[in-house]
Amino acid sequence: MKLPLKPPPFEELFAEVIQSGEYMELSQRFYGNVPKKYLHWDQLRHRQIPDGLTLRQWWHFIKVQRVAASKKVTLPDKQGNLFSYNMTESISQALHGIDMKSGGSIRIEDKNIGPHTRDRYLVRSLIEEAITSSQIEGASTTRLVAKNLIRTGRKPKDRSEEMILNNYRAMESIRELKNEPLTQELVFNIHEIITRETLDEPTAAGRFRRESEEIKVYSGGTEDTLVHVPPPASELPWRMKKMCEFANGEDGAGFIHPAIRSIVLHFWLAYDHPFFDGNGRTARALFYWSMLHHGYWLFEFISISEIILKGKTQYVKSFLYTETDGNDLNYFIIYHLRVIRRAIRALHDYIARRTGELRELESQVKSLALLNYRQRDIVGSALRHPNRDYTVRGHQTVHNVVYQTARTDLLELVELGLFEKRKRRRSWIFRPVAGLEEALGML
């Protein structure tokens, strides 16, 4: 990919505007032409320049406005300069939406998602995040194969499948660790789970990269461009300490909205790149930990990586815009908030679609009321996919129940004449009987 053009130095622009002798006149022209979008220099230079201003003068006043409203965070760049952000109106509106839809005491057990289907949505989101977060980092397998891998619990066949299964386990672990403070040990633990059995150097899992392990970040794709050189390995211990203090609100920086703190945490680990491999997956995992840690329960049910994967170039650009424009985090924050908004919308679309399917199924097959909700769900799936095989382990994973409950569910369906079972190696495989609809009609 092509790197964004770096903005001209602010000091140089300031000197030019002062020397023009028209500072007040130029300032007044600018305030009648403030851009509505938060544009980078590389984007602004392609826009229509306001009358009475040059491009450089326009950019100068944009930067004056942004810097005046900025707030520093404790993340330092490689030269020791701090990153910053400012609360624009669009960011405030987006944060309000997140607070209303995914925080507080409301729970997802409402008219759209009852308690019986909560676990199904949860597992779906964990699976989707595990797959797409791995695909962002190069895992190559079909979504169908990946879902089958997680649902059946079979052993991964290659590194791509191992990455996906590791991500799933890491996301499950984060749900258990969400009430814990962030520590170096916790970050190492998440990284070790994510990279287990996937590294060329197995000892690199769950530890800092070493001086001998030179890391450079490339864009990928057809034009594999160098986009980032992280801080040296010698700085990683103290940088990790500062990152954990920031994540736990112990940095002395005052109030930072929890969603902003979570997004900056994502950026921070990606910027430091403390590990030999698996940094992107770990950074996104820490974002989830932080949102859940701050009580944003809905983030158990959404997948940001699913959205990022569809526009990976914009993901990379949001990092580059921040680094090339004086450590301005707004580019990454605005991008990330847009991803969150789309992910929440995708969840609600899925809920509406799934609810419609269940209503249609229940109206068509009255006898499903004789079964428990898990059995109704698997029978509904079997009606749509008559050649699909089901396993106790997969049923257990989908509905988040103990093994014995899942086994009992399937054996009862066999006894009712709705499913048949057969042995495959050491496991039992369950498949709907031929003429399942007729069998249901005879119950």
CA-based end-to-end distance of the chain: 61
CATH number of 365-441: 1.10.10.10
Q: Which fold has domain 89-349?
A: Fic-like fold (1.10.3290)
Question: d(Cα 183, Cα 241) in Å, to the nearest integer?
Answer: 8
How would you write the pLDDT of the chain (443 residues) with one tens digit per residue?
Answer: 788 999 999 999 999 989 888 989 989 888 878 888 999 999 999 999 999 999 999 999 999 999 999 999 999 999 999 999 999 999 999 999 998 877 654 344 444 444 445 666 667 788 888 889 888 888 888 888 888 888 778 889 999 999 999 999 999 999 899 999 999 999 999 999 999 999 888 899 999 999 998 888 887 766 678 999 999 999 999 999 999 999 999 998 889 999 999 999 999 999 999 999 999 999 999 999 999 999 998 898 888 998 998 888 999 999 999 999 999 999 999 999 999 999 988 888 887 787 776 667 666 665 566 789 899 889 888 887 788 899 999 999 999 999 999 999 999 999 999 999 998 888 899 999 988 877 887 77
Residue 111 has what pLDDT?
A: 44
Residue 188 has what pLDDT?
A: 98
3-state DSSP of the chain: CCCCCCCCCHHHHHHHHHHCCCHHHHHHHHHCCCCCCCCCHHHHCCCCCCCCCCHHHHHHHHHHHHHHCCEEEEEECCCCCEEEECCCHHHHHHHHHHHHHHCCCCCCCCCCCCHHHHHHHHHHHHHHHHHHHHHHCCCCCCHHHHHHHHHHCCCCCCHHHHHHHHHHHHHHHHHHHCCCCCCHHHHHHHHHHHHCCCCCCHHHCCCCCCCCCCCCEECCCCCCCEEECCCCHHHHHHHHHHHHHHHCCCCCCCCCCHHHHHHHHHHHHHHHCCCCCCHHHHHHHHHHHHHHHCCCHHHHCCCHHHHHHHCHHHHHHHHHHHHHCCCECHHHHHHHHHHHHHHHHHHHHHHHHHHHHHHHHHHHCHHHHHCCHHHHHHHHHHHHCCCCCECHHHHHHHHCCCHHHHHHHHHHHHHCCCEEEEEECCEEEEEECCCHHHHHHCC
Residue 85 CB contacts under 8 Å (≥ 6 apart), including other chains: 70, 71, 73, 260, 264, 328, 329, 330, 333
Residue 113 has what pLDDT?
A: 46
Cα–Cα nearest to 323, from 401, 250, 229: 229
Residue 42 has what pLDDT?
A: 96
What count of other Cβ atoms lies within 10 Å of the Cβ of residue 215? 17
What is the value of pTM for the model shown? 0.82
Q: Where are the domains of the chain?
A: 10-68, 89-349, 365-441
